Structure 1
């Protein structure tokens, strides 16, 4: 493994002087990074692929978060906002994703310290060093980064002195198949498979009302959708749901009684009750291998108890979690864990095979560093395929990273993080349960806050 100097920021050279720090993604973590850079007077540019800030959150904005407002606002962002007259929402309130955007992220992005340096509709498709692919070592640390950005006016290259990739994972869901590959037949039924957290009671109601839905996944995003389907069934006859998981139980959802976030703690009991009442059919130990179109319906085919089993529905919800998009980083020298796809020093703290608590050890720039000096992955993407990311974690990550980039060694190294526990810890899980908690990949957007 290549060692990285974690104590001394890279030496500034003429090629780096005056260049901004590039932030990829204008979600909560990217905007928090911008706030910290603004406070320290460090130039930055934010590129957001979506047409609006926090584009991914807007897609599941109907969903209520588990964390109260006191865990959702970055300290530097709060200082900048309050100086402009903004008032913090009620500390114990539980916002929806849309409310998080409207009441916090949009005002933050509109601040004069941030707005001129933020571009939407600007997708970063690749990152490298200017004139140096990943094989070239000589002078690498003194060479600017180059980001290829596809925007409304075409494709351009932008140079930066450092990069914080806070692009998230919502755009890259895990596969329905247990192998991690797309199931055979997936291309034939893409119109009958939806992304996680559809708006069952609102925008997408017509797709689910009076229909049979299969929800695949053992995490909180699956549980959220099942609860909404049960609510829809109360008013629309013929609305039914089948819950498919690949292990014997959904331990992360069902074992959350001791969760310190009450809204998250309650979800397991509510879903379990619906299963017990027969309002939701639970199919466990199901390993998906193939999808098949049957006229206007879709059939899920999998291995169960040593035999093939078929489940047919009108629509399938893929709630199997998310994974990082690493294709854009092909020319960057990364040090990622082979299993979790998180930075190697962070991975042991969050690997669901050995650790599944919401509370992780404090970590900052040192755990997030790569052989590519002054390149960092932060936020949900830093967790790779591991679950239960919380916004407060990302806020502390970018605070430490920005302090490091500013040369403030003491502040960068003094990492403090207190998170609400999930009540599900590896010390109390069997091997089977631990693997169950990891089967659906990273946390759903509803549990990442």
Structure 2
């Protein structure tokens, strides 16, 4: 089979994978898309979660009109999601992604890619868990957060076999139904939206919850839409010059020094609860701020955290369970389906692939989009609206491959 007639394989069927595949197909490029549509949003996000992003920042980019969030609402009769005051339940967003896939990628293959290896004449050999093997001219990795859950070293010591939803220590990504925490004591480590919202949902389910945040004053909430600054440019994330620049000119982020790019990804739109969460959080969830985890252990089945307040004094907190809502860290080593030769050919920066302007890595024909692209293009790639920047550029690059 010639290189031109071999398909492009898109691995992942979340917002970035669906968007990239739709753009490739619109250019007449043969595409095979692998994965369960919106699986992370359906099984690794807590039931009852509400998206932090506004409707304007939550559309999956398509190559033609008629596939946005409002189109989904009109077509399915769902509640109209339009203004900054409209909140998007995760169940509605997952349904939107599945609707998008059904309309634009009806032949999506709900199987997993087991391995990706280069072939001598160019392109890649892929194996699927169905037993099929085939060759692709290029591969787009759009696996989202899968494999990138971050567990602080001190906390990991209490879970030597790894975090588990049913164990004493878990990561937030391992939970969907939080109702099982009713009547239990839970410590949530973190101060971002994931930590604060998981804490609220567990407290509302009947758990006794306390948030442990490393920095003093770390538990904060954003401003409501009518409290946004009026004399600053608008962006999908709010009104601020920095947010406008990073969302409208992501191209220029690539030219910044690596330390600056990594700093932006970590700190811009960093730990901050949504404005609508404040009222549900206050008075319902306990908080220990300015406390660093020194060590963790398990006694009689209960995790115990030793905390330092920075003055040398230590205190201990114990609970029935500890949930780490400590975010994600990209490391291509965690992508086990990439063959050793493929990974060895990648140029990385702090574990993330270094990409060119078209989202291609140092391995010709291997592309990354979504979170793994954030270290090259900035924090825009952490959000669904980044599909509008990434997908057209990736498709254009692949069309010229």
Unmatched 5+ stretches in structure 1: 1-13, 133-141, 346-364, 409-449
- Mapped pair 1:323 → 2:315: no
2:142 and 2:368 in contact (8 A); partners too: yes
Match of 2:125 among 133, 137, 146: 146
Structure 1 residues 204 and 405, CA gap change in structure 2 (3 angstroms)? same
What is the CA–CA distance in structure 2 between the aligned matches of 1:188 and 1:299, rounded to whole Å? 16
Spell out the pairing of 1:368-447 with structure 2 (5 A cutoff): 368-383=359-374, 389-407=382-400
| Partner residue, 2:151 | 175
- Following superposition, which runs of at least 4 residues in structure 1 exceed 6 angstroms of deviation? 197-200, 384-388
Distance, in Å, in 2 between the alignment partners of 1:42 and 1:343 is: 24
**Structure 2: gaps spanning 5 or more residues:** 229-236, 240-271
Q: Provide the C-alpha distance between the structure 1 equivalents of 2:213 and 2:273, rounded to a whole number of angstroms.
A: 19
Give the C-alpha shift of residue 71 in structure 1: 2.3
In structure 2, do the counterparts of structure 1 residues 204 and 78 end up closer, same or farther at CA, with 3 Å as the change threshold? farther
Alignment partner for residue 34 of structure 1, among 9, 18, 21?
A: 21
Which range is displaced more, 281-290 or 92-101? 281-290
Aligned 8 A contact 1:145 1:159 in 2: yes
Matches within 5 A, 1:92-111: 92=83, 93-102=86-95, 104-111=96-103
> Counterpart of 1:119 in 2: which secondary structure?
coil
1:58 maps to 42
Q: 1:53 to 1:244 in 2, by over 3 A?
A: same
Rate the CA distance shift 1:63–1:170 in 2: closer, same or farther, 3 A. Answer: farther
- Identify the residue that residue 434 of structure 1 maps to in structure 2: none
**CA drift at 1:381:** 3.0
Cα distance in 1 between the residues matched to 2:138 and 2:67: 25
* 2:16 alignment partner, SS class: helix
Give 1:131-210 correspondences, 5 Å limit.
132=120, 143-150=122-129, 153=130, 155-178=131-154, 182-187=156-161, 190=164, 191-196=167-172, 203-205=177-179, 207-210=180-183
Q: Deviations over 1:176-197 (max 9, x none)?
A: 435xx83254339842233316
Q: What's the offset of the Cα at 1:337?
A: 1.3
- Partner of residue 17, structure 1: 4
Q: Aligned in 2, Cα 1:66/1:78: closer, same or farther, shift over 3 Å? A: farther
Question: What's the TM-score once normalised by structure 1's chain length?
Answer: 0.65
TM-score, normalised with respect to structure 2: 0.72
Matches within 5 A, 1:212-361: 212-232=185-205, 236=206, 239-250=207-218, 254=220, 256-257=222-223, 260=238, 265-266=274-275, 269-270=278-279, 274=282, 279-295=285-301, 297-302=302-307, 304-305=309-310, 306=312, 309-324=315-330, 325-329=334-338, 330-332=340-342, 333-338=345-350, 341-344=351-354
Matched-pair contact (CA < 8 Å) for 1:215–1:226: yes
Distance change in 2, residues 1:225/1:336 (3 Å)? same
In the alignment, is the contact (CA less than 8 A) between 1:62 and 1:96 conserved in 2? yes
Query: What is the deviation of 1:287?
Result: 2.4
TM-superposed deviation, 1:115: 1.7
Conservation of the 8 A alpha-carbon contact between 2:216 and 2:289: no
In the alignment, is residue 68 of structure 1 matched against residue 54 of structure 2?
A: yes
Q: Deviations over 1:38-89 (max 9, x none)?
A: 21111101111xxx3111000225311122333222342663648xx86475
Asked if the contact 1:168–1:379 (Cα under 8 Å) also holds between the matched residues in 2, the reply is: yes
| In structure 2, distance between residues paired with 1:269 and 1:94 | 14
Q: Which range moved further: 58-67 or 190-199?
A: 190-199
Q: How does 1:74-85 map to 2 (within 5 A)?
A: 74-76=60-62, 79=65, 81=67
CA, structure 1 residues 331+400, in 2 after alignment: closer, same or farther (shift >3 Å)?
same
Aligned residues: 336
Q: Deviations over 1:356-380 (max 9, x none)?
A: xxxxxxxxx5173321122111012
CA distance in 1, matches of 2:157, 2:300: 16
Change (3 A) 1:371 1:70: same
Distance in 2 (CA, whole Å) between partners of 1:366 and 1:328 is 25
Q: How far apart, CA to CA, are the structure 1 residues paired with 2:146 and 2:217? A: 25
